[in-house]
Structure 1
């Protein structure tokens, strides 16, 4: 497995990859958002197995803080270590930039939660999500 950080030269390829997850995005909306993706502030990482993109995730950097988010693995590649590799790559990148605080948010007791714990994250709070039935 190989993890790459994609530059803005790959932004349209990144959207095409996002759409394989079921994401729907009109051309108009994408045109408004495309300048935000695959930048030094909003970094996009792609995991490849045998040269084929199979998972991705992002990092949003502001000052000395980074938020790890938007992780997805295509179904047939799940349980192959893609997200752990993406977590490690994003953490190493953040450390190399001198980031002091690395945050992420995941559902409790999920696979994402287990992956985060495996690379050293610990829970510092729980956010309640409310809905009206």
Structure 2
């Protein structure tokens, strides 16, 4: 029973994370629109993005497991035909010794790990009264876009104008954190099938260590509660300071995946 529950959580997270990936491909502030292609081979789902063939995020193989070993050459070939670099996104429910050896024989090695966490939506009192949170809407979306543009080293105005609508959609809620009237940080919550996913957390360097992210996290958990979401997920680099911070804020570890790639 416990094993079934864990497997269901893995499936739930993979579903919302995949939906978020599709959404991110649409809203990406890139000079060329993403063309995310999806191919099913066996139980594996191939994500291929021709405009960014070296992007490990958009060129991932999800759902690959022992039942798909006979399709491994075909899967790799799909990427090679498009001059794309595949990344096998491996959840622990699908990675065993046989799968690891098969990937290794093809030159794939685990390079990074991502921890997936969950928390229950809950009303939380503000712990840093000098930090205020504003939801992003049509009236202040340009503030968010300007901040994101600065972080990216400058995004042309026509791209910002074309992608602006994504940042105020009801399924993609963005938040601005202010300290003493100055923009201090940003964060988002993606909503799908009654669940939330926290992402895009960033605190401006001058405001780090003041509780900005703590306030953003707790605000979004409160918003999730008020919205009626059942669960909130997020992902962090395993063992990072963000990983530790999320645990301190009440998130619990669900599983850790690994990314298998090979040198070009």
Structure 2 length normalisation: TM-score?
0.47
Shift of 1:117: 0.8
Shift of 1:132: 3.0
Alpha-carbon distance in structure 2 between the residues aligned to 1:24 and 1:112: 26
**Which sits farther off after the overlay, 112-121 or 65-74?**
112-121
Match of 1:34 in 2: 164
Q: Which runs of 4+ in 1 moved over 2 A?
A: 19-32, 129-133
Shift of 1:15: 0.4
Match of 1:119 in 2: 249
Match of 2:203 in 1: 73
Match of 2:174 in 1: 44
Alpha-carbon distance in structure 1 between the residues aligned to 2:163 and 2:227: 25
CA RMSD of aligned residues (A): 1.6
Match of 2:230 in 1: 100
Match of 1:60 in 2: 190
Give structure 2 stretches of 5+ with no counterpart: 1-130
Give structure 1 stretches of 5+ with no counterpart: none
Kept in 2, the 8 Å contact 1:21–1:74? The answer is: no
Q: Secondary structure at the match of 1:37?
A: helix
Deviations, residues 41-77 of structure 1 (Å, cap 9, x unaligned):
1111111110101100001112311110000111121
Structure 1 length normalisation: TM-score?
0.90
Kept in 2, the 8 Å contact 1:58–1:69? The answer is: yes
Alpha-carbon distance in structure 2 between the residues aligned to 1:36 and 1:9: 14
Q: Which has the greater radius of gyration?
A: 2
Shift of 1:101: 1.6
Q: Which is bigger in relative contact order (C-alpha 8 A, separation at least 6)?
A: 2
Alpha-carbon distance in structure 2 between the residues aligned to 1:9 and 1:34: 12
